[in-house]
Each structure stands twice: as structure tokens, then as C-alpha cells.
Amino acid sequence: MRNRISARELFDQLQERLGLRWLTSGQRGGERTLERSEQQTRRPALAGYLNVIHPNKVQIVGSAELAWLDALDARQRWETLEKIMGFAPMALVVSQNQVCPADLRAIADETHTALWVSSKRGFELLNLLQYHMALALAPRVSMHGVFMEIFSIGVLITGESGAGKSELALELISRGHRLVADDAPEFTQIAPDVLDGTCPEMLQDMLEVRGLGVMNIRQMFGDTAVKRNKYLRLIVHLVKAVDNDAGAMARLTGESPSPARVLDLDIPVFQLPVAAGRNLAVLTEAAVRLHMLRVKGLDPAAAFLARHATLLSMSQEP
């Protein structure tokens, strides 16, 4: 998956929101790119105020930073500017539509460094730039399956080709649940414990069912039948009934013995055997309800085992 962003892409994506204007002639520096591999340590930061010790990838030049530069003598000022540009920042942003010093613009042109001015204040630039860049460079992966919102929970339906994932998704949609993505949902780790699932633009609103072809779920069921994104919390894996050789404990708990590893997170998995006459939509809804109970600390299987242990201990008493 693509984990990089260029200065031009960053400018285009945030131009309207941050009120950005490009100051360097010919929009120089737009091709400078930041890769995720460059962000394995805390320093340099993705975005921050002008710093010549630990230079940020995007340097924000506010009124305090301009005043500091003005306090330097001519030689120190030029040496400082050369040092800043020597770190090859992706871009410099002057806040609050302040007048950009001529020497800063000249050295940005000379070194082909993107130089922007924004109408926003420094802390607003810092917050938005950090969030946007961190999201663009976050770890991400594409998985095969149908991603849905069921009872407000993000559920990925997986299984072998022909297992009935799309048919199950269609039945769930008809029961009032919502489609996020079919076939190739993309998951981004936006926080240490959060995987955000989205749909590729080309597959937006589409669901392919064997015998029916590709259907536009939004047009067929309305806007409430689709959702733009959802956090992944549960995986429902469809298996052939003959292949489901779960042990006695798995029969009690229902869950797979081991969770699925998605990026850096372990996601609970329910394995549902596919066989004639089984209502997979009802079983999937029940799996989601059971997961919700366990999140609240209520585990029916554990309660049953506790009852069983109590009954055994009572029966063994003289």
C-alpha cells in the first residue's frame, strides 16, 4: 500500500482548509516526497514550529520565529537559513498571512523548497498538519472480504471464494445493516488500538453477487445502506462445515482459538460453518451481539463453565 505524500499533494489536500498560497516561483519543491520509512523515530516530527536542532518535516514560521530571525545579524541570519534548508524540509509555512521575508523566499527558490503562507494561526496549522500527515503515512493494508457495520460494530466477513460472503452481506443489508466495502476494504491503523476501514474509490457503494453481478447498494437500498468508514472490531470467517473441526472448548466459546493479526492488532474471529439450511445472517448478528456482551465483561461461556464447576464440586461433597 502507498505510504508517502508529496508537498504538492499535501498542498492540494489542505489548500482550502488552511487557506494556503504558494510563494516560491513556479511552485518549486512540489515534488519533494515524505516516505513512511522516514518516520520510524520521534524526531524529526512531521510538523512543528521552526527548529534548527531537531528540524521538522514541515516547518511552521510564526510571528515568534520571524522575530527571532530578525534579531540575528545579517551573517547569522543567512547561515541559519542555509542550515534550515540544508535539512531538506518538505515545506515551510508562514502563518497568519504574515509578510514573508525576501531572503527566506530567495533561499527557498534557490533550494527548490516549497514555501507557503497560510491564513491560519500557528497552533491550527500544527494540529491539522500533524493529523493529516500522520493519517497519510499510517500503516495500511488491503484485505479480501466484505466489510460491514452490524449493530454499530465494524465486522469483516471473510472466507474462501464461493463461501457466500456477498450473499450474506446482501441479506444483512436487507435486514438494515450497512455496507462499507466489498471485495477489497482498506484498513489504516490511525491509533495504537484503532483500525479504520474504508472502501477504495472505484468500489464505492458496489457489491458483487454471483448470479446478479455488480449492484449499486446506495441506489437500490438508499443512502442509509452504506457507510463511508468504520473501525474494525470483529471478523466473521465462513468455513465449510466439513472443514470445521473445532474442539470442545471452541464449541462452547464459538470464537477461533487464535485472533487474526491485522497490522499491529489482534482482532477476534468467529468461525461460522456454512451448510444447507443454516441462517448465516442470524448467526452473524448473534456473533456480533455476543462480542458486544464480551466487551462489556459478560461472557456466557465463562458463566456456563462456572456453573458446571460449581455443580461438580457440589456433587463431589459427601
The single-letter DSSP state of residue 129 is H
The single residue of 251, 278, 307, 308 carrying the catalytic annotation is 251
d(CA 117, CA 100): 8
Amino acid letter for position 287: A
Looking at the chain, the number of H-run helices and the number of E-run strands are 10, 19
d(CA 32, CA 108): 13
Examine the residue annotation and report whether 227 is marked as an active-site residue of this protein. no
Examine the residue annotation and report whether 177 is marked as an active-site residue of this protein. no
Residue carrying the nine cell digits 439450511:
277
Amino acid letter for position 134: A
- Strand 58-61 and strand 91-94: pairing? parallel
d(CA 285, CA 108): 58
Residue carrying the nine cell digits 512540489:
30
The single residue of 57, 165, 230, 233 carrying the catalytic annotation is 165
d(CA 74, CA 103): 10
Judged by phi (left if over 0) then psi (alpha if -120 to 50, else beta), residue 152 lies in left
Cβ distance 205 to 217 under 8 Å?
yes
Examine the residue annotation and report whether 251 is marked as an active-site residue of this protein. yes
Nearest to 98 by CA among 112, 117, 84: 117
Amino acid letter for position 257: P
The single residue of 144, 228, 278, 289 carrying the catalytic annotation is 144
The single residue of 182, 183, 196, 205 carrying the catalytic annotation is 183
Nearest to 109 by CA among 92, 96, 126, 124: 92
Examine the residue annotation and report whether 103 is marked as an active-site residue of this protein. no
d(CA 92, CA 118): 10
Give the catalytic positions in this structure.
Answer: 144, 165, 183, 251
